[in-house]
Structure 1
């Protein structure tokens, strides 16, 4: 890890999140340990106090002579002076027992502590009770709590060592997480820089574990796919505009120049003007179609979606094109679905898309051909199908035909501007539908379908 990387690690979200988790865990650890320490110390003190009260009670019931004798025997038996018992007179002088002076205390029969400085130089902490007796003497009953103090110290040391280990391990873990996140972000940044420099085919790397960064990278990659598609479309549109609009513009300019050079009659001028107007109307129609596609691709149109019946849309479109088909002897048939075919959408746009599919089918089918409009209403999908027995679409061109202004060489002399299927594709994207082109053997079959649940 370089110096720059080390300096940048604390800025990563992973490092800060790890620190927050460490702080939360550390606080929980301290709270739990404090509770355990408080309960343990309280329990030991309570047990010691219970034993002291029991001893006070036993000594208080003894006659004075027996008490003195028992105190002497107790002192002999308690050679290590773990439980010192001492009797003091009214002036506080020791009568029997190892403790020679009465320690300071807050009240009778209340637990107190003091450090007993023994003659052998071994100082011991003592917890004791002071109880006044009926004969005017004072009884002190104590308990050596050195072992309890050692246990408390052991707990505190365990807290310090465990907390230090937790802190070090947590900081190391946070640093490793931060470093790992930084490396991954550096990889993403390098990919983004290549994309910014113009490599739209590059994609953000993913690990496949479905974490937050993977999800964001997947969304960005989807956005890049759409951006690449749009850029490719724009490039194709520019190429097609240069190729397809050059001819009508050339005709328009040539006609005007010819009119300018030759002294034409009034009737000749009128014909030239009509031809120029027709060419201009054709160009305007092309640009209106381009604007229409742009309007359709605006996702704001989703706000006007309602429940529409694809069967009704297919029937209306077939009825609308029936006179044109009859003029050429084409049999136009409509097949309604066997199940309900309702979906959320824009009825007018779906009708326009179906009409464009029918317009292409009628335009490119030979006389006395057959065209079928079928409603698809199956458990897994819903949509419309337009099939004809015309020349069909070559497999190599089945994706290109949906590009704006694209026209195959075989259709360049046919009336149109190459935007009909582009509009259908825009409607399909707006409705989350799929356009599929198939070989009808003979002819072409285009399915406009939407997957559905249930």
Structure 2
């Protein structure tokens, strides 16, 4: 571990958060321990004071002779001076008891403390209570509180040692958390640097514990997936534009050049202009479709989402394409869902996507075949399924057909610009729907599935 890495640990959020919680926990610990110390010490001294008050009340009510005799007996029974007593006359001279001198300070009936200097042993802390008697004498009752003071010292030492251990363990834990966070951030930084340098296939590593960094990494990885897909589409679009738009542009330029070189009749010149206009309009339609797909992918319409009925959208699309299907001798069957199928989305975009799928299905279906459109609901999802009996889409091309302007070899000579499925894919991403292409044996089946409203 290098010094540089150690110096970077205090700058990590994990280390600072751990220190913050250590400070909060430390303050709570000391506050709790201090409260326990205060309550325990107060309780023990209160018990001593209560016992002293009871004993003072009892002895002060006795006859002087009996009090004197009892104190002499107590001194003989308590040689260690655990509960020392003293009886003094009006001048302060000792009459009986182990305590032979009045404390220098002390008020009547108020507990106080003094250090009792015993000639046969060590100095002892004594908590005592004074009472002025009716004959002018003074009664002093005390109790050795050495054990209470030792207990207090034990509590304070436990507080200091426990607090020191808490701070040490907390600091080591904060360093460990900071080091772990720093190492993880270094791994993420290396991954990001590789991605910035051009490796768009790289992804941020995750631990699988769904913590904050994992969730951020998953979001970033999703963004990188979309970025990689868009970059791939841009490259594919550039290649497809160069390949597919070159032919109509070549025809347009060639027709205009022939018209320029030749002396054409007005009828032939008009036909050439009509042909050029047709080619130009086709190019404009292609670019308009590209711009519309870009608008959809930019989520410009997400703010206009409303509840829509997928059954009704599919029914409208089937009704629109039914004449075209009949003209080509193709049957068009529609099976709506028996349950409500309401989605949150843009009705016009979903209708256009359904129309594109139906147009492709009819376009590639042979005569006397059937195109089946069905709506189903399952597990809080609504699915539009369009099935034809055409040549189908090879499995190797099912991802490629979603690119803009991509056209498979089998569809090169059919009308179209290769943007229909691209538009459907963009609508599906905007609505967070799943677009799936599979074999229908024979033909192709395309499914568009999204979550029901409120799911």
User: Which interval holds the TM-score relative to the shorter structure?
Assistant: over 0.9
Q: Please give the alpha-carbon distance, in whole angstroms, between the structure 1 residues aligned to 2:379 and 2:50.
A: 79
1:128 equivalent in structure 2: 128
2:55 equivalent in structure 1: 55
> SS of the counterpart of 1:312?
helix
Q: Please give the alpha-carbon distance, in whole angstroms, between the structure 2 residues aligned to 1:53 and 1:435.
A: 90
Q: Do the aligned partners of residues 300 and 93 (structure 1) sit closer, same or farther apart at CA in structure 2, a change above 3 Å counting?
A: farther
1:5 equivalent in structure 2: 5
> SS of the counterpart of 1:299?
coil
Give the TM-score taking structure 2 as reference length: 0.94
Q: Please give the alpha-carbon distance, in whole angstroms, between the structure 2 residues aligned to 1:5 and 1:148.
A: 50
Mapping of 1:202-351 within 5 angstroms? 202-351=202-351
Q: Do the aligned partners of residues 84 and 271 (structure 1) sit closer, same or farther apart at CA in structure 2, a change above 3 Å counting?
A: same
Q: Please give the alpha-carbon distance, in whole angstroms, between the structure 1 residues aligned to 2:73 and 2:329.
A: 133
Give 1:9 deviation, angstroms.
1.1
Q: Please give the alpha-carbon distance, in whole angstroms, between the structure 2 residues aligned to 1:144 and 1:331.
A: 109
1:86 equivalent in structure 2: 86
> SS of the counterpart of 2:28?
helix
Give 1:120 deviation, angstroms.
4.8
Give 1:386 deviation, angstroms.
1.9
Q: Please give the alpha-carbon distance, in whole angstroms, between the structure 2 residues aligned to 1:108 and 1:234.
A: 99
Give 1:319 deviation, angstroms.
1.9
Segment of structure 1 superposing worse, 37-46 or 253-262 = 253-262
> SS of the counterpart of 2:80?
coil
Give 1:314 deviation, angstroms.
2.0
Q: Please give the alpha-carbon distance, in whole angstroms, between the structure 1 residues aligned to 2:62 and 2:403.
A: 112
Deviations 1:335-370 (A, max 9, x none): 333333332222211211111112112222233332
Give 1:379 deviation, angstroms.
5.0
2:141 equivalent in structure 1: 141
Q: Please give the alpha-carbon distance, in whole angstroms, between the structure 1 residues aligned to 2:19 and 2:272.
A: 81
Deviations 1:48-104 (A, max 9, x none): 112222222232233223333333332233222222211222222323334343213
2:32 equivalent in structure 1: 32
Deviations 1:360-396 (A, max 9, x none): 1222223333222222244553232222222221222
Q: Please give the alpha-carbon distance, in whole angstroms, between the structure 1 residues aligned to 2:136 and 2:377.
A: 108
Give 1:150 deviation, angstroms.
1.1
Q: Please give the alpha-carbon distance, in whole angstroms, between the structure 2 residues aligned to 1:150 and 1:354.
A: 87
Q: Please give the alpha-carbon distance, in whole angstroms, between the structure 2 residues aligned to 1:166 and 1:246.
A: 76
Q: Which runs of 5+ in 1 are unaligned?
A: none
Give 1:164 deviation, angstroms.
0.6
Deviations 1:6-34 (A, max 9, x none): 11111112112211221222122212212
Segment of structure 1 superposing worse, 220-229 or 59-68 = 59-68
Q: Please give the alpha-carbon distance, in whole angstroms, between the structure 1 residues aligned to 2:326 and 2:445.
A: 21
Segment of structure 1 superposing worse, 251-260 or 130-139 = 251-260
Q: Please give the alpha-carbon distance, in whole angstroms, between the structure 2 residues aligned to 1:6 and 1:107.
A: 62
Determine if contact 2:14/2:178 at 8 Å carries over to the other structure. Answer: yes
Q: Please give the alpha-carbon distance, in whole angstroms, between the structure 1 residues aligned to 2:112 and 2:2.
A: 60
Give 1:292 deviation, angstroms.
1.0
Determine if contact 2:106/2:130 at 8 Å carries over to the other structure. Answer: no
Segment of structure 1 superposing worse, 247-256 or 137-146 = 247-256
Determine if contact 1:372/1:388 at 8 Å carries over to the other structure. Answer: yes
1:101 equivalent in structure 2: 101
Q: Please give the alpha-carbon distance, in whole angstroms, between the structure 1 residues aligned to 2:66 and 2:332.
A: 127
Q: Please give the alpha-carbon distance, in whole angstroms, between the structure 1 residues aligned to 2:393 and 2:121.
A: 110
Report how many aligned residue pairs link the two structures: 454
Q: Do the aligned partners of residues 249 and 108 (structure 1) sit closer, same or farther apart at CA in structure 2, a change above 3 Å counting?
A: same
Determine if contact 1:330/1:369 at 8 Å carries over to the other structure. Answer: yes
Give 1:285 deviation, angstroms.
0.5
Q: Please give the alpha-carbon distance, in whole angstroms, between the structure 2 residues aligned to 1:135 and 1:329.
A: 134
> SS of the counterpart of 2:383?
strand
> SS of the counterpart of 2:54?
helix
Q: Please give the alpha-carbon distance, in whole angstroms, between the structure 2 residues aligned to 1:59 and 1:51.
A: 12
Segment of structure 1 superposing worse, 33-42 or 328-337 = 328-337
Alignment root-mean-square deviation, CA: 2.0
Give the TM-score taking structure 1 as reference length: 0.94
